[in-house]
Copies of this chain bind each other. A is one copy, B any other.
Amino acid sequence: MAASKDKDKAKIGEAAWARMDKVNSELLSLTYGALVAQLLRDAPSPEEASAQLERMGYNIGVRLVEEFLARSGARAAGPCRDVAETAETVAKVAFKMFLGVSATVASASAEHREFSVAFDENPLAEFAELPEALAGGARLQYSNVLCGVIRGALEMLQLRVECRFVRDVLAGADTNEIRVVVKEFMADDKPPDAE
């Protein structure tokens, strides 16, 4: 049952991906690299640049959620039933639709208030080479925009979350992993797809 649901989400992701307008991923990777470099030049610290990337991602997520609802079929299907389904939808539908890569759900908590999105390929970091001082990965969260995108998009769907990179290939890990912690189920007094 769970396996068949997984397969369904993967199928929905593939179908939505086929409908998306696309550009070359290296163009995104290099453009994103220019943005990170600019923030590093301006911000007082790598930590602050990371926080700015997260905030930029939040604004992007707030915009992308409309596209997600329109093209994934999620608007017609109705809201996710629980956090477990939300996790599957983020990993298998949203990651595929926007980044063209497959992600999986890992280490979901028994109470379903936390989950991880794990993915091997990260198109944002494809060309990234960090200078020695930043290579540890603890100070600069290079791809932090993704954490912001997830937070912004889920907040528009009445789910307040916090996200952070817990593993990053760029920092020497064997895969990428974003930890998502649900902080609040927000009051559903306006529908998620209100304009």
Contact = CB atoms under 8 A, between A and B. Distances in A.
Nearest to A99: B23
Interface string A1-38: 00000000000000000001111111110111011001
Interface in A115-151: 123, 127, 145
A72 to B, nearest CB: 12
Interface stretch (A57-65, A85-93, A161-169, A175-183): A57-65
A183 B21 CA distance: 35
A27 B127 contact: no
Contact of A98 (B20, B24, B100): B24
A48 to B, nearest CB: 13
Contact of A23 (B25, B38, B39): B25
Interface of A is mostly: helix
Contacts of A60: 27, 30-31, 34
Given A26-B64, A28-B28, A64-B26, A21 B99 contact: no
B21 A34 contact: no
A42 interface: yes
Given A23-B99, A31-B35, 14 more contacts: A21-B100, A23-B25, A23-B28, A23-B123, A24-B98, A24-B100, A26-B98, A27-B99, A28-B28, A30-B60, A31-B145, A34-B56, A34-B59, A38-B38
12 contacts: A21-B24, A22-B22, A22-B25, A22-B100, A23-B24, A23-B28, A27-B98, A31-B145, A35-B35, A35-B38, A38-B38, A63-B127
